[in-house]
Structure 1
């Protein structure tokens, strides 16, 4: 059995977070190779092609989606990737009853009325917080300039100040089953730094033990996404639900990652990599 983990040219062998998964797959008889999505590798011969770090896709989304369409055994599958690479999915999840960070979708040509208080303006197609701007209360000139510079659909969200103290809670699911969680520190800060590849903001990560309220919302998010997409939870090889704490203390969805999320193996228990390897083995048997 052959599995290809998909990367990008700047990170041809990933960012090292998946190293334990590769070892776990080898232990159970699965051969793993890394290849950038645009490298011309023979993806069609693989039994399963798993998107891991193709983080330059945001600059070339039509080309990337065309490549996804050409891959017979892609995980997560093309309809999921196409839906999830545009963050306007947040509006659909809100319509499905998911408690989200209030989100307004802006289109080029719109002349937004900026809200009071701090807010975030970020491209609808983006990864790693690239292109996201935290706007200070009343600094509408900065918002206007950033909106004009983006030139693409964007999301407008009130900044959740609880992130400064508590960060985000990222909850990871494999094959629809909860695996583990980790905390991401506030990223839209003055001292934020990009990694050497330029594809994501460096994160401060640590293990997490989510409370019942967060577990419940995360489960609801996965259910809602499966319903919107018309798939079973088990059809999602992986999912990462990013939650923040609202002003009233309740968990809110900030993002749902179904295309190419970091899965936090370095912040998880050692068995997390084994769980993902087992989920991949099960997916191979279903083909």
Structure 2
């Protein structure tokens, strides 16, 4: 069996790094599977159909060339290439427009306001900052492009005029933006990532805030560590978020990461976003998960192998 592990020719930030793929490759090869690590944007002439499975691991240059990446993914789909996360999961995860849909389907989320070119940005800016203060106790929001990874293009904003300026810049570029309240608990409790593999809870991580007041830079998953401090209703909130997400997609993913923050007053988990294009799984913090994911890839590869002529 042959499995392709997909990365990028270059990452958007100098501190971005892919620690998952080498560990996954080692685990796959320990289990007797052939692997190749290939860049989606710098491998001319590669026959992707030659692989039993293509696992999109770190295609993060995609955020700087979304059209090209979409063309590449669509091309693989047309050729019948088996993707670890199916084509609709990857395509749907390229834009955070799924967030209001997941909320409608029953997830407890951080409210997300989509701002499209032509919308009344002055009114939206005033309403979203006022709502953040009223509902979450802090007059601050995060504004970012609807399609982005890490904190690319994101900013924490506390003044209405600054939010108007940010939204106007996105509008001028023809970019849809999203605005979410800044949840202050991230500054002390961090952000919790829940990694799901084959529809089941695999492991959890916690990482520090990037956009906290006074913090400079855009670190990539700062101070990531294994586990999280579990509260009484956490599992119910995680299950509800995942089940709501499944109602919005036509097929179940092999793996996603659900990112949560805690409500500053109630402590309940609020869904921030779902990473489904190429979720970082933090295998270095949970090596057993690398072996588990490798087994899942090999099982899918075996199915693909059986149907080949």
User: Does residue 131 in structure 1 map to residue 153 in structure 2?
Assistant: yes
The runs of 5 or more residues in structure 1 that have no matched partner are: 196-200
CA change 1:86–1:169 in 2 (3 A) is same
SS in 1 for 2:278: coil
Equivalent of 2:283 in 240, 265, 284: 265
Please list the CA deviations of residues 237-269 of structure 1 after superposition, one character each: whole Å capped at 9, or x if unmatched.
Answer: 11100011013211100011111111111222x
Q: 1:148 deviation in Å?
A: 2.1
**8 Å contact 1:214–1:243 — kept in the other structure?**
no
For residues 200-215 of structure 1, what are the structure 2 equivalents within 5 Å? 201-209=220-228, 210-215=230-235
Q: Equivalent residue for 1:250?
A: 268
Other structure's SS at 2:203 match: strand
- Which stretches of structure 1, 4 residues or more, deviate above 6 A after TM superposition? none
Alignment of 1:1-287 (within 5 A): 1-11=1-11, 15-39=18-42, 40=44, 41-71=46-76, 72-112=81-121, 113=123, 114=125, 115-116=129-130, 117-136=139-158, 139-151=159-171, 152-189=175-212, 190-194=214-218, 201-209=220-228, 210-232=230-252, 236-247=253-264, 248-268=266-286, 270-287=287-304
Cα separation, 2, equivalents of 1:75 and 1:65:
16
Other-structure match for 1:198: none
SS state at 2:280 partner: coil
Equivalenced residue count is 275
**TM-score, normalised relative to structure 1:** 0.90
| SS in structure 2 of the partner of residue 203 of structure 1 | coil
Q: Are 2:90 and 2:276, in contact at CA under 8 Å, matched by a contact in 1?
A: yes
- SS of the residue aligned with 2:117? coil
Q: Which runs of 5+ in 2 are unaligned?
A: 12-16, 131-138, 305-309
C-alpha distance in structure 2 between counterparts of 1:286 and 1:175, whole Å:
15
Bigger Rg, structure 1 or 2: 2
Q: Give CA-to-partner distance per residue, 1:57-92, whole Å, 9 cap, x none.
A: 122222211211121112211111111110010011
Q: For 2:60, what is the secondary structure of its paired residue?
A: coil
CA deviations 1:120-142 (Å, max 9, x no partner) are 11111000111111012xx1222
Cα distance in 1 for residues equivalent to 2:112 and 2:209: 19
1:229 counterpart SS class: coil
- Secondary structure at 1:56 match in 2: helix
The structure richer in helix per residue is 2
Provide the secondary structure at the position in 2 that maps to 1:188.
Answer: coil
Alignment TM-score, normalising by the size of structure 2: 0.84
